[in-house]
Structure 1
């Protein structure tokens, strides 16, 4: 009976130790699980906090952008109000400009016929005038007529050219000039030197100096002059060309002025 009791106690001790080991192992596993859960919970909490911080930053950024947009909108409103004023003023200026254009157009319609009549009158005057520099003056009239036909030239510029042509013609009356040209003498075309004394006299002399002549405005013909005028015309040509000084009077055939009727 004793042997059985001892074995029983030993067996109980072994069983107790085994059960105690099992309990310890179970407790360790539970603790690990708790620790792991805590770590994961903390990690999740950190991630959540990071997301919250990120959302807060994004919200702050959006708020700043929102305030910036509000300022831009207010600035645009101010700009639009100013722009509306400018547009209103520009519309008024355009209306005034259109009125001015209409008036200019009306003036152009009136001034164009006037300019054409002025060109016609100038051409007629040249053809009836003393025939000095006739080719040059006719070319000037031709240029004026071409200018009148151009649509890309303003009426003011056309009118300026017409007035300039009149001024040039007026200046010819104060001209003392020598130039070269040709003339028909007894059926032969000869090279001559012309001496223009304003509109008072137009003289010529052949290159050899043998023949001199003058334009008769009354008969509108060239007339051969006596040899007594030869040296005076030669000297006049030299003076006009700045080859001699005008230190003495030159006896030239100047026609007497016509009596007023």
Structure 2
């Protein structure tokens, strides 16, 4: 261990005192020298005690310095960690500021989008209403009510534009699904001037037939194509289709497993109002 300058000085003084003691030991028998020797010994002891105290202070100071140094290293590591953390937080803050700017820009564009999408939805609802009117007349009350609800919804201010658009698209999706499903439902149909309870069978949009509850009457919806647009009428069917229609009704009601069925396919016929100009 390296000694401090004060410790070295104390050691030199101690050695000098010891040499002086040994040098004068030969004259110890001389009474006049005893007093001088005692003074030298006392001085050496005081010097040694002072050196010990000085060394203790040096040791205490050294321990304090080591403690402070360790604390300094710990604080330095904390500062380094905080610097890295601040850099990460700054990066996140910059990213959030960029995102806020994008959101603000999007909010400015919302009003423009709303002004454009509202007329679009109005046109979509009008087109859907015309389509339902010209389509095969299955579930007329349900489909008409759906269109009426959409028109009423467009006048409400408590419904968000996004929700309005979702409902319009949903109505279109329901109409699309009609074209690839089979369905059986009950209803009332005027037949020869009388309202009769019948069972309707819809197969996509290619076939819509009915059968009275007693099975005595069968009919199909037949489209009529004319210059003024698409219309149609109910046409009586032969009893030859009765078994096929009954089987299809049970399949549509999930009372039978899917199987081949024999049903008429609605075909277009020329109406009497057709223009005399031949089609090219």
TM-score by length of 1: 0.60
1:175 & 1:91 partners in 2: Cα distance?
51
**Structure 1 CA distance for aligned equivalents of residues 137 and 259 of structure 2:** 28
Query: Which residue of 173, 178, 182 corresponds with 2:179?
Result: 173
8 Å CA contact 2:183–2:203 kept in 1: the answer is yes
Find the counterpart in structure 2 of residue 200 from structure 1.
206
The CA deviation string for residues 22-47 of structure 1, in whole angstroms up to 9 with x for no partner, is xxxxxxxxxxxxxxxxxxxxxxxxxx
Partner of 2:159, secondary structure, is coil
Counterpart pick for 2:135 among 129, 132, 147:
129
Q: Secondary structure, in 3 states, of the residue corresponding to 1:114?
A: helix
Q: What residue number does 1:254 align with?
A: 265
Residue aligned with 2:257, SS = coil
126-135 or 140-149: bigger deviation: 140-149
- Correspondence for 1:37: none
Return 239-248 or 223-232, whichever deviates more: 239-248
Gaps of 5+ in 1: 1-89
Aligned counterpart in structure 1 of residue 218 of structure 2, from 170, 188, 212: 212
| C-alpha displacement of 1:233 | 1.0
- Give the conservation status (yes or no) of the 8 Å contact 2:223–2:268: no
Q: Which residue of 1 aligns with 2:190?
A: 184
SS at the partner of 1:179?
strand
Q: Which runs of 5+ in 2 are unaligned?
A: 1-95, 225-230, 270-278
Q: CA deviation at 1:238?
A: 1.1
How is 1:106-145 mapped onto 2 (pairs within 5 angstroms)? 106-145=112-151
The within-5 A match list for 1:85-124 is 99-124=105-130
Q: Which among 224, 237, 253 is matched to residue 241 of structure 1?
A: 253
Partner secondary structure for residue 261 of structure 2: coil
Alpha-carbon distance between aligned partners in 1 of 2:172 and 2:129, rounded to the nearest angstrom: 11
1:207 CA drift (Å): 0.4
Question: CA offsets per residue over residues 112-132 of structure 1, 9 Å max, x none?
Answer: 000000000001000000011
Deviation at 1:108, TM superposition (A): 0.3
Residue 152 of structure 2 is matched in structure 1 by 146
Q: Deviations over 1:68-93 (max 9, x none)?
A: xxxxxxxxxxxxxxxxxxxxxx9998
The size of the alignment, in residue pairs, is 175
Which residue of structure 2 aligns with residue 228 of structure 1?
240
Q: What TM-score do the two structures reach when normalised by structure 2?
A: 0.56
Choose 140-149 or 97-106, whichever is displaced more: 97-106
